[in-house]
Amino acid sequence: MTGIETALTRFCVSPKRGSKEFSDWIKQDDTSAFLSANARGPEILIYAVLDHVYLQTVTVPANRLEAANLTDLREWELMQDKWSLNYSFGGTDSKVWLEPPFASEKCNVFREAEQLIYCRSFAGLDDEKTYYELLQKFAHIFELHYVQHRKSYCRLDENGNLEDVVRILDLKHLCAVGSGTAIVMQRRVLDEYLLAGGRVAVRAFDFTRFDSNSIEGWGDERVEKHEEDAEFSYRLTVEPGSGSYMRGIQLIRPLETISQYHDRLTRRDDSREYASFVAQDWKNRVIREISCAPGATANYFTKSDSPYETTPAFFRPEVLTKYKSDPSKYTLEERSISCRGAWSLRTYDINEAGQVHTYLVYLRDLPYAEQLYWKAFNEEPKAPLSKRAIGTDFEGQFWA
């Protein structure tokens, strides 16, 4: 169970009414602390509908937010969460128009909001009638696709493995009636979206705590507290011995600036790691270990003592076993290997000793983890390159 699931369980499971634990629970001292810590963690809660928790996340233009009153933002509704076709009749003044989800919000900033998650239901579905759509623009930008068996919107990482970017958590066990759902997103991906779009995320939340087995309604002994700072604006109402409710908003700004983000992107290639391989340095007529990193080798037109980029490295034939055994992930052609859009080895061949061989310049293009995999099978050459490789790669021959 993740920290988010543990916290939501604590929020939703009521201690016995009349106990000290219940009195502490309804004070909600842990609610804002959880939200603040979660906003800075690797995964951020962006949606939750549970017995005692409602949370919805939208993004708004950053320049519009600067002039907004946080108290006004706290009066969110955010319930009409879908596009609709609207019309009015009035003779020559009859109109038909498309109405965005939050067109009727009291706060003008929310009228320009876009939600990250759309909860939709369709009675025509055979199994679950309710499902969750990710903002399509967000899904397109980050190449996200819904994978049913993982209950996540996923993409492929550099190694061709599925990466869960938006996870849908089934928490119906925390609800007395109906379904319970929470949705989390990688914080770094949300930040990229906010930075590129000049937006700020707003988490609207409503936490209500009471003993559902013995609630008798709210009395007149309620104590109300208002909190507002650069991150939060909320109202907490506590009725001692009975229950409490906290309603408000939290602003989620990117954790880094545009310039920091730009610097990180430009440094990404510079920080790449590269493996070294025992290779046949035919330029210097020696077999030795050579890095496949840029700069460690040179092309034919550069005057240097560095080995050629086309310096061959040799491997035991078992190096191909992984690719042969997982055709759903890898495409193994006669002379090339690719990993479902994540990476490719442009060429390889097999010599008379049964060794697989390729060139340092192509090993360089593999992810570092994949380079290390090949390194584990690396060995000195037992025979020259295959005749086909010499003919096609160096003599310009067509090989049928």
Answer yes or no: are the C-beta atoms of 142 and 155 closer than 8 Å.
Answer: yes
In sequence order, what are the residues at sequence separation of 6 or more whose Cβ sits closer than 8 angstroms to the Cβ of residue 65? 109, 200, 202, 251
Residue 270 in tokens: 């510079």
Tell me how far CA of residue 190 lies from CA of 173, 193, 238, in angstroms. Answer: 28, 5, 33
Question: pLDDT at position 307, please?
Answer: 95
Backbone angles phi, psi at 30, to 5 degrees: -90, -10
Backbone φ and ψ for 64, nearest 5 degrees, come out as -80, -30
Rounded distance between C-alpha atoms, residue 186 and residue 163, angstroms: 10
Dist CA 313 CA 385 (whole Å): 10
Residue 379: the pLDDT is 97
Give the DSSP H or E segment for 207.
strand 199-210
Q: Which residues contact 157 (CB under 8 A, 6 or more apart)?
A: 163, 342
Total residue length of the chain: 400
- What distance, in Å, lies between the first and last C-alpha atoms of the chain? 56
Q: Look at residues 54, 109, 97, 61 and name the one whose alpha carbon lies nearest to residue 79.
A: 54
Closest CA to 254 of 312, 210, 305, 190: 190
User: pTM for the complete prediction?
Assistant: 0.84
* Per-residue DSSP letter, 30: T
Give the per-residue pLDDT at 183: 97
Q: Are 340 and 156 spatial neighbours (Cβ–Cβ below 8 Å)?
A: yes
Q: Of 397, 17, 355, 43, which is closest to residue 209 (Cα–Cα)? A: 17
Rounded Cα distance between 84 and 330, Å, is: 44
The residue to which tokens 């492929």 are assigned: 156
Residue with tokens 């939290």: 250
Rg of the Cα atoms in the chain:
29
pLDDT at site 148: 93
Which helix (H) or strand (E) is 7 found in, with range? Answer: helix 3-12
Residue 228, judged by CB atoms within 10 A of its CB (0-12, 13-18, 19+), counts as middle
Q: What is the dihedral of CA 151, 155, 161, 165, to 10 degrees?
A: -60
* Predicted confidence pLDDT, tens digits, the chain (400 residues): 678 999 999 999 889 888 999 999 999 999 999 999 999 999 999 999 998 999 999 999 998 887 677 777 887 887 666 888 888 877 677 888 888 888 777 778 888 889 999 988 889 988 888 899 999 999 999 999 999 999 999 999 988 999 999 999 999 888 877 679 999 999 999 999 999 999 999 999 999 998 877 666 666 677 888 888 888 999 999 988 889 999 999 999 998 888 888 887 776 656 789 999 999 999 999 999 999 999 999 988 878 889 999 999 999 999 999 999 999 999 999 999 999 989 999 999 999 999 999 999 999 999 999 999 999 999 999 999 999 999 999 988 887 6
CA atoms within 13 Å, Cβ hemisphere of 270: 5
